[in-house]
Structure 1
Amino acid sequence: MSRQNTNTLVRLLLASPVIFGMFSAYAAEQATTADKPAADKSAQMQKVEVKGQAAAYDARRDDTATKIVVNQEEILRHGDTTLGEVLKRLPGITVGGVQGRGGDVRMRGLGNGYTQILLNGEPAPPGFSLDQVSPEMVERIEIMRAATAEYSTQAIAGGINIVLKRQVQTAQRELKTGVQAEHGAYGAVSTFQLSDKSGKMSYAMSGNLLYGRQDRPSHIVTEGYDAAGREVLHRVADDGNRGRLLGIGLSPRINWNIAPGEVITSQNFINIARSKGDAPETVVTSLGAPPRYVATATDAENKMEMLRSDLSWTKRLEQGAKLDAKFGVNYAHRDSKVGQQQYYANEVLALDRDIANDVTEKGWSSTGKYSRPVGDGHAIALGWDGAYSLRNEARLQLETTTVGAPINNRDEGFDATVRRLAMFAQDEWSVTKQWSVYFGLRWEGIQNKSEGNSYAAIDNKSSVFSPVFQTLYKIPGSKNDQLRGGITRTYKAPSLAALVPRRGIASNNSPTTPDTMGNPQLRPELAWGLDLAYEHYLPGGGLLSASTYVRHIDDITHSRVFFIDGLWVSMPVNDGAANTRGIELEAKLPLRQMFPGWPALDLRANVSRSWSSLSMVPGPDNRLDQQTPLSGTFGFDYKFDGLPATFGGSLSFQNGGPVRISQNQYGYAGVKRALDLYGLWKFTPKVQLRMSLANTLRQENVTASTYVSGDGSRLTDTTFTPTFVQVRAMLETKF
């Protein structure tokens, strides 16, 4: 274990007595109350009962299917501009990539697409990214640690459901405008909310406008060693990444109450983005042979438009039955142009490359559910979930040279269709007042077909039956303690990009920077999972929770590097089985609600530890690629007495370390720490100023990729990416 990791664990161990000390004090207070005379107990019980009736329904506490619900207040607390920044603070969730810059969202430390992202309960449409959603557009976030039959069971690690705002309670007019800065690059953001009711109709419109610049350099150190361990190659590549982005998002919706118990809702999501940037690279070789191209200048321009429109119908029937149906269409278009100039030594222009890529994706989806209570304590539901997507892509690559450099002109096009159909049945049964169980069965089939002018036609089909069981047991004699359990069958289907055998060309081909290619023979990854949890609820929304999970995954997919026709090529393959397990601890401590007279300080903390191993990869460190072994977050919110001000922050960390990906491939990720702070000042009940500092630690991000040949020689690329403080100020006004 590294010194940095040891220090992190020491800090956690030092902090744990404080957290558990407060819990012990609270438990002692409860025990003292329990020893009071019967009359006092009766009065106290009456008070608790009245408070319970007034409290809102708590989905996390009362639903049989385990989920964590994050409300809008928590989503907006730090003034984040993207959902990725919000998610990184939530229990059991980590974000890949460089800290403070977004990335793929992971649950249980698992990357590589094991986490299912849902938008309003449906799999996110093609081309969708969490960075396209403004936090102001979101009503709540549901984190589902175990799969349910109603939603897609492509959720080996779990699922995250982004629920856009739907219900309109009162008229609302809200405008937020602000500025942000990072490393001398400035930006501006503005969001608005409009909503109102008129008779049987209500409407709402959410929107955001974002303009930003970025300047994010990095450098890559390439080292080569022979079989005897002598260094034979040393290069340093300095990379730049400068650009600007303009984004516009709209989310209009309309609700019609056409009859008692019957509602039609139109929900739409529109996003438009434009970006330009340049990425120069210069390579200096101090030992060994230089690469083919010692410098590259890249200019890129991207345009993106995305639309999703859903029309849903809900009708309440006799005997408590309910029918929900929804039909949606989606459209996405991306147009990118890249210009690249690559140079030999002495600034000799060797290759001039122009790449134009045009992608259109469109399709439709349909979901429905019939539910009704049956017998004593049963809630039965039957439903369907289907989607069709058509993708058209054209790629034109033209290269010219005046010095005889090898050229690769390509004019490629391909069409692809994805068909998905699922049917499910589920029963939530309240066996007793303390015990409820959930049974579900889902069948889901997917077909990917594709044809292109540079590869043979492919037709990849797969289907999976997924039984699901979850249970909730409220411990008798306690209103605050409960146990959860679940057994699930989940899977991960190969993506279209992983199936299509088109060649992606690397500028300087090597074992650590290979060409890429899909594999049309990929099979789904199938998993069995077990989840267990203990939850203890505290006054004022407090919580102590401990959970554990186990997953066994067959036919795991990971990328392997092959040497084909004189070039290195990375290709996804099915390769054996994997076992992963982990524990998660979470605490939410609203101190004033727990201890009257204490400061108005809310504390929250979570820690996750994960392990995994691959059957076909020798150890040590033969864990799943991109898995985060250790992660955690500590946060606080303090409301000043006598002042209209709140101050808070969160410290998050992720421990990477070495990983053996395959027989010859190794990776490494350094420890990532991020400290975010915010302050809120309310001038009036309708006007407030929110200030935030993100990534205040400015920790350098370090990753590495290594390839070891059969003779023992090895090549390593280590990427060092400096990070910077992000400053934001947002004025929030309600009318």
Structure 2
Amino acid sequence: MKRNPLASGLSRALFCAALLPASLPAIAQDVPGDTATASATTGAMAAKDLDAVVVQGQIAYRDRTNDIEPVLVYDLEYFQRFEPSTVGDMLKRVPSAVFVSDVLEYDAVQLRGLSAAYTQVLINGKKVPGAGDDRSFWVDRIPAELVERVEILRSNSANRSGDAVAGALNIILRDAYDFDGSYIRVGAMHYDDGEIQPTVAAVTSGEVLGGRLLAGINVQDRYNPKLKRSDRFEEPNGDFVDAEDQTDTRDGQDYSGNVSYTADIGDTGRLSLDGFYVRTDRDQVEVSTEYNARRPEDATEIANVPGLTHVDQENWGIGAGYRFDMAGGTTSFDLDHARFEDKSTESEEEIKYEDGNWDSHEAEALDIDASDSETAFKLAHSRPVGNAGMEFGVDYRTKERESTHTYYAFEADDEGDTVVYELDAVVDSHIEETRLDPYLMFTGNAGALAWEAGLRYETTESEIRGEDGTFSNDYNELLPSVHLKWDIGEANRIQLSLARSLRRPAFNELTPALLQEEFGDNDFLGNPRLDPETANGIDLGFEHRLGRRGVVGVNLFYRDVQDLIEMVNTGEPNETAYDDYADDIEDYMADNGVTEDEAIAAVPFDPNSFIYTVENVGDGKVWGIELDMSTPLTAIGLPNTGVFVNYSWLDSEVEDELGTRRFNNQAEYVYNVGFIQDLPDWKASFGASYRKQGDAYMRVLAEEVRTTYDGDLEVFVEKRFGENISVRLSGTNLLDAYKREYFDKFDNLADQIDRDYDEYELEAEHAGPRYQLVMRWAF
């Protein structure tokens, strides 16, 4: 466990940072302007007309920002013509965004291909709790219609939380200051099975009570019918065991809204209030048929496996901020509270028949009752210091996550018995975290060269309560960051970033609860003493301006990750191991007249099943190259043709008990290529987009999975009517893309090393094309 004294650590950090502007007098000429602060001090309130957003007059390209740190910015208009439903749909078109989930599901985004736990998701620059046990936020919970823009923050800065080894995604919702007007969006989606589902949204903004108010609502049906086929073998190229056909239909609604109010107060003050709400109400119905033959009509053993998952989740957040000029600088206060609630249920039955006769009927169910809330206060002050700019502040944050998983089971005695669940187990956990993170940051520029350097000191006090008691764990991390931006003329730019970041342990890794046979025949026990993983990272990028609106960029990145959280064997055999020797123990008790404990201690056995836990035991490396381009083809006489290309090559290295592997589920590459053709004389446009993601590989105790995806083709055609109406038809998954998974399953680590298979499974899943017709009307 790391325990750094707060006082001495903070004093060293502030002392080092305070020396920074003095050590760079030659290049510190003036302070880069901050657009948000500049607007706040002038009191001017300019807003973009919503009809310009709804009925686009020209193609939108990736924005080139003036940020010193490496940031990619994409306005909603960049994605809108393909009519994305959610932020997840939007992100599949940006560099290095990987999704390893079901077909046409884009929930947990993996920047740089790393698991979602390594990506920080912000809404309006603020942390929010999410559905993932690994602290991830599912981006498919936010509808695209509420979004103004998304920012890909490739490296850390001192004035943001450091939980971003792979980078951070900042979802900026539409706010009152930036937009003026109203519009309505109505549409419907047609699915491969003939189902038609509606969607409706509305946004309005204008002057209210001396300020500006924006409100938006969105209601959309979420529907995803899929077909799956699984074939299982004793081992690769081995004897056939059984097969499974499954229908998997996800049907529900998402209800969401956001509100924003902004008002200027006095000569320099600005008050901002904002809030958002998202509710997911969805049923996932899975109906499987398992049979011990290639075709069900040839089977002697058949099992019907119906399953139902009801998802009932809510995300909401509220925030308030006030900024004003004070003491020769600008001071800001921010207070926000966000909450996630999950009241979902899962159930599955299995009814077996042998030679047409009933054999058995078993069922299991799970009730989930989880809540996760975060409250934060931030105080910051920025001001000029000599020829540099200085910002210092402190973030205070409390987090409380409560979770109760209640497991039920049923086993019938006779055919036709009614399912009556009996309590099987209850797993409770309660995690509280308190953070106090002071930071200090300096910025400056000397003409073409701009720089930013800062230090952030993150302190965390945590308390974990579970069935085995209450545990405390405190850790502190010093996170330095340095960014350089060098503009070479008006067209070229080089950026270099060095930053330290971290990943906090997942909740299921911290919870001290014993989960039986979680990994093959092995049990798992959480470790509340875990420290966070840390990473030293570098980003080196080059960007070139193509004409007035085009941009092409290349970025190289590297992360050296320490204190990796990896699975380790406690050395303690689990109950399954003892069950394997139950007959020997009983014989010893009968022959020697001893108790069971005495027999267990006396009977020699070689266990294969153990209790595993997680510890900070490893190191890893991540690296890759990211290319992106978006530009009109003006240079070849096609100003109304826009092309979009991005490609990311991703790699990594981790050592585990079986040797070297990549980080789990990191795709080898991902790319997207597309075009938009505008027809101004006809007030129309059309375009296409193609995305392909490389293989992803996962290796954990007793199981290995390789996941592949076919390419995804999307197209749209659009017609604009006057200045206020647009109608757009779009198609998704037009190639009927398949997801395929290859499972290598083992009973324990020894069998995994020896390649002694328990089962080898091939699974294929697809969902079919879908079409959407949408109309927008601005007024």
TM-score (norm 1): 0.84
- Displacement of 1:630: 1.3
Q: Who is 1:442 aligned against?
A: 456
Once residues 618 and 473 of structure 2 are traced to their aligned partners in structure 1, the CA distance between those partners, rounded to angstroms, is 20
Q: Cα gap change, 1:394/1:553 in structure 2, threshold over 3 Å: closer, same or farther?
A: closer
C-alpha separation between the residues in 2 aligned to 1:187 and 1:643? 30
Q: Deviations over 1:512-563 (max 9, x none)?
A: x987653334331111111111111111221221211111111223567998
SS at match of 2:344: strand
Report the AA paired with residue 650 of structure 2: S
State the match for 1:8 in structure 2.
none
Q: More deviation in 335-344 or 304-313?
A: 335-344
Determine if contact 1:401/1:407 at 8 Å carries over to the other structure: no
Describe the shift of the 1:332–1:579 C-alpha distance in structure 2 as closer, same or farther (beyond 3 A): closer
Q: Distance in 2 between matches of 1:397 and 1:495?
A: 21
Of residues 695, 700, 711 in structure 1, which corresponds to 2:733? 695
* Percent identity for Structure 1 against Structure 2: 18
What pairs up with 1:101-250 in 2 under 5 angstroms? 101-127=105-131, 128-168=137-177, 171-184=180-193, 185-198=195-208, 200-225=210-235, 231-232=238-239, 234-250=241-257
Alignment partners' CA distance in 2, 1:365 and 1:327 = 6
Native 8 Å contact 2:227 2:765 kept in 1: yes
1:422 is matched by which residue type in structure 2? D
Task: Tell me the secondary structure at the aligned position of residue 100 of structure 1.
Answer: coil
**Structure 2 spans left out of the alignment, 5+ residues:** 1-59, 132-136, 578-608
Q: Counterpart in 2 of 1:720? A: 764
Is residue 2:87 matched to residue 1:79? Answer: no
Cα distance between partner residues in 1 of 2:423 and 2:302: 15
Contact 2:107-2:138 within 8 A present in 1 as well = no
Partners of 1:570 and 1:723 lie apart in 2 by 37
Does 2:382 align with 1:371?
Answer: yes
The residue correspondences of 1:89-488 to structure 2 (distance < 5 A) are 89-127=93-131, 128-168=137-177, 171-184=180-193, 185-198=195-208, 200-225=210-235, 231-232=238-239, 234-286=241-293, 294-319=303-328, 321-346=329-354, 347-376=358-387, 378-403=388-413, 409-430=424-445, 432-452=446-466, 454-475=467-488, 478-488=489-499
In 2, Cα distance between the equivalents of 1:169 and 1:163?
11
Equivalent residues of 1:417, 1:450 under 8 A apart: yes
Q: Contact 1:578–1:613 at 8 Å: present in 2 too?
A: yes
Q: Give the superposition deviation at 1:607.
A: 1.1
The question of whether the paired residues in 1 share the 8 Å contact of 2:128 and 2:374 is answered with: no
Alignment of 1:615 with 2:628, yes or no, is no
| Alignment map for 1:651-730 (pairs within 5 Å) | 651-656=690-695, 659=697, 661=699, 665-707=703-745, 709=751, 710-714=753-757, 715-730=759-774
The verdict on how the C-alpha distance between 1:516 and 1:204 changes in structure 2, with shifts beyond 3 A counting, is farther
Does structure 1 residue 65 correspond to structure 2 residue 75? no
Q: Which residue in the other structure is 1:626 paired with?
A: 665
Superposition deviation, residue 339 in structure 1: 3.6
Contact 1:93 1:106 in 2 (8 A): yes
Structure number with higher relative contact order (C-alpha < 8 Å, ≥ 6 residues apart): 2
CA 1:651–1:456: 2 relative to 1, 3 Å = same
Q: State the secondary structure of the residue aligned to 1:576.
A: strand
Structure 1: unaligned runs, 5 residues or longer: 1-55
Aligned to 1:546: 554
Q: Could you say what secondary structure the match of 2:767 adopts?
A: coil
8 Å contact kept, 2:370–2:404: yes
Are 2:468 and 2:512, in contact at CA under 8 Å, matched by a contact in 1? yes
CA deviations 1:7-58 (Å, max 9, x no partner) are xxxxxxxxxxxxxxxxxxxxxxxxxxxxxxxxxxxxxxxxxxxxxxxxx9x9
Is residue 307–residue 347 contact of structure 2 (8 Å, CA) maintained in 1? Answer: yes
* Contact preservation (8 Å) 2:176, 2:261: no
Alpha carbons of structure 1 residues 479 and 110: separation in structure 2 relative to 1, 3 Å:
same
User: 1:294 and 1:384, CA in 2 relative to 1: closer, same or farther beyond 3 A?
Assistant: farther
The answer to whether 1:734 aligns with 2:778 is yes
Q: TM-score, normalised by structure 2?
A: 0.79
Shift of 1:318: 5.0
Distance 1:462 1:135 in 2: 37
Q: Helix, strand or coil: the match of 2:531?
A: coil
Query: Residues of 2 paired with 1:466 and 1:357: CA distance?
Result: 36
Offset of residue 666 of structure 1: 3.0
Aligned positions, number: 662
Root mean square deviation, CA, Å: 3.0
Quote the residue 1:579 is aligned against. Answer: 621
Paired residues of 1:635 and 1:651 also in contact (CA < 8 A): yes
* Matched-pair contact (CA < 8 Å) for 1:92–1:108: yes
Mapped partners of 2:80, 2:557: distance in 1: 30
Pair 1:213–1:660, CA change in 2 (3 A): closer
Give the secondary structure class of the aligned counterpart of 1:498. helix
Per the TM alignment, residue 272 of structure 1 is displaced from its structure 2 partner at its CA by 2.1
